[in-house]
Amino acid sequence: MLDDSAFDLRKYLNNNGQSAGVWIALVALIIFGLLRYDNFGSAYNIVSFLNYNSMFILIAIGMCFVIMTGGIDLSVGSVAAFTSVCAAYLSPFGIEVALPGGVLAGAVIGGINAFVIIVMRVPPFIATLATMLGAKGGALVISGAQTISVDWSSNFTKFGMEKAFGILPWTIVATLVVFFIAWIVLERTPLGRSVLAIGGSEEASTLMGLKVNRAKAFVYIFSGACAGLAGVFLASSYGAGQPLEGIGWELSAIASVVVGGTLLTGGLGSIPATLAGALLLGLVFNILNFENGKGTISLSAYWQLVIRGGFLFVVILLQTRVIRKRQAVS
């Protein structure tokens, strides 16, 4: 059993092309965009691109931790919608309250996921599917199924719309902070290594004496908190708590994680590559927008959903093909 997995793996790792590939694709797309569109490299496009995609980067980072343990979190989109409503309600108290409040709300739902998965032993996808439903219901209940306008008189919207020290938007700064923390936690702390070990073999990790349940609880709470922060961004950047947002976000996040070379079965993963994956997916949409603008294609908003699915499909095909090809080589 152990030898089988080792067998596939040797091929898979030797090539390492997967995570190099995402960077190459990213650079290629950027060059393509720069050459083809006038405003592609404009400060406005770059900032609004990063601002919008910071939400997806955040949930992708959270999702990456979950997937590295071999789990899945389908609730992230609904959680972001829920916390955007929470943040909108808290906005009169300013960002100092609304941001921790939103993150906490997300972390609590993540905690519920963790409880249901670890203590009640419900499979992750069922548990998070249920919280997806529950968070959506919760968002609709507390908002009365309406978008909730934020309080524009407090500093809440400044977070989403203004720049820190006049350089970068606050959302991007916050995303970078989360990114670096996540990176260090994964690479440099026992907790991060436990996450990877659990995904590699939960049984072996238990027998090695690792705190398996603690690490699993961490990833779901962390994923919930990341989605919570994304919800705060949503409310702050777009001026409203939006209970109906978040559809298909889990798919984007999963696709970003997988394109970054993380194995869906867990045990292997990288935070920078996940960032690259999220940026790549965002760039695909950015370029399609430009094409729409140029009039070469005309895609309705509904295509977004189709393209997200198509993107994941292609990524999965590539991952399987890479594994197979390497097997054939030796």
Partner 1 sequence: MTQESPVLENSGSSPAKLGSFKFDLRKHGGLLALVILLVFNALVTPNFLQPQTLFVNISQVATIAIVAIGMTMVIATGGIDLSVGAVMALAGALAPLIFLSPFGVEYPILGLIAAFTLPLFAAAFCGLFNGVLVSVLNVQPIIATLILFISGRGIAQVLTNGNLQTFSNDAFSYLGTGKILGLPFQGWLTLLLALIAFWFVRRTLFGRYLLAIGGNKRAALLSGVPVRPVTILAYVICSVLAGVAGMIVVAINSASDAARNGNLMELDAIAAAVVGGALLQGGKAPIFGAILGAIIIQLVKYTLLANGVEDEVALIAKAAIIVLAVWLQQARKE
Partner 2 sequence: MALPLLTAKSIDKAFSGVAALTSAELQIEGGEVHGLIGQNGAGKSTLIKIITGVYRRDAGTVEFDGGEASFINPREAQSAGIATIYQELNLVPLRSVTENIVMGNEPRKWGGLIDWKTANSQTKKVLSDFGLDLDVERPLGEYSTAIQQLVAIARAVSLNAKLVIMDEPTSSLDDKEVAVLFGVIRQLKQTGVSVLYVSHFLDELFEVCDRVTVMRDGQTIGCHQIAETDKFELIAEMLGRNIEDIKSAGMTDFGGGEAKRGEVLLQADNIGTDNRLRAFSATVHRGEIVGLGGLLGSGRTEAALALFGVDQLTQGRMVFKGEGFEPDDPVTAIRSGLGLLSEDRKAEGIIPDMSVRENLTLALLPRLTRAGQIQRGREREIVENFVKALGIKTADIDQPIRELSGGNQQKVLLARWLATEPDLLILDEPTRGVDVGAKLEIQSIIREYVDRGCGVILISSEFEELVEGADRIVVLQDGYSVSELENPGISEDILIAAIAHHHDEVSGANA
Could you say which of partner 1, partner 2, none residue 66 binds, taking C-beta under 5 to 8 angstroms by partner kind? none
Residue placing its CB nearer to partner 1 in the complex, 33 or 241: 241
Could you say which of partner 1, partner 2, none residue 199 binds, taking C-beta under 5 to 8 angstroms by partner kind? partner 2
Among 64, 154, 308, 326, binds partner 1 (CB under 8 A): 308
Could you say which of partner 2, partner 1, none residue 145 binds, taking C-beta under 5 to 8 angstroms by partner kind? partner 1
Nearest to 66, CA basis, from 223, 243, 290: 223
Q: Does 297 bind partner 1 (CB under 8 A)?
A: no
Task: Choose the stretch contacting partner 1; rule: CB under 8 A; options: 36-44, 54-62, 99-107, 244-252.
Answer: 244-252
- Ordered DSSP codes for 54-116: HHHHHHHHHHHHHHHTT---TTHHHHHHHHHHHHHHHGGG-HHHHHHHHHHHHHHHHHHHHII
158: three-class secondary structure by DSSP:
helix
Distances (CA, A) of 244 to 63, 141, 151, 162, 240: 21, 12, 20, 25, 11
Q: Where along the sequence are the contacts to partner 2 (CB under 8 A)?
A: 1-3, 5-7, 9-10, 13, 184, 187-190, 193-194, 196-197, 199-201, 203-211, 263, 267-268, 327, 330
Q: How far is the CB of 258 from partner 1 (least distance, A)?
A: 8
Please, what's the b/e burial string for 205-220 (b: 16 or more CB within 10 A of its CB; e: otherwise)?
Answer: beeeebebeebbbbbb
Binding marks (x or -) toward partner 1, 192..231, rule CB under 8 A? ----------------------------------------
Half-sphere exposure of 2 (CA within 13 A, CB side): 4
Which residues 265-294 are close enough to bind partner 1 by CB under 8 A? 265
Q: How far is the CB of 203 from partner 2 (least distance, A)?
A: 6
Q: How far is the CB of 5 from partner 2 (least distance, A)?
A: 6
Angstrom distance (rounded) from CA 109 to CA 235? 18
Q: How far is the CB of 282 from partner 1 (least distance, A)?
A: 17
Could you say which of partner 2, partner 1, none residue 279 binds, taking C-beta under 5 to 8 angstroms by partner kind? none
Instruction: Report how many residues bind partner 1 under the rule CB under 8 A.
Output: 44
- Ordered DSSP codes for 177-209: HHHHHHHHHHHHSHHHHHHHHHHH-HHHHHHTT
End-to-end CA distance of the chain: 19
Which residues 124-143 are close enough to bind partner 1 by CB under 8 A? 125-127, 129-131, 133-134, 136-138, 140-141
Answer for the pair 127, 116: CB distance below 8 angstroms, yes or no.
yes
Could you say which of partner 2, partner 1, none residue 295 binds, taking C-beta under 5 to 8 angstroms by partner kind? none
Angstrom distance (rounded) from CA 210 to CA 194? 7
Q: What share of the chain is helix, strand, coil (3-state, %, to 5)?
A: 75, 0, 20
Answer for the pair 226, 178: CB distance below 8 angstroms, yes or no.
yes
Task: Choose the stretch contacting partner 1; rule: CB under 8 A; options: 102-110, 121-129, 187-195, 270-278.
Answer: 121-129
Residues that bind partner 1 (CB under 8 A): 72, 74, 116, 120-123, 125-127, 129-131, 133-134, 136-138, 140-141, 145, 247-248, 250-251, 254, 264-265, 300-310, 312-313, 316-317, 320
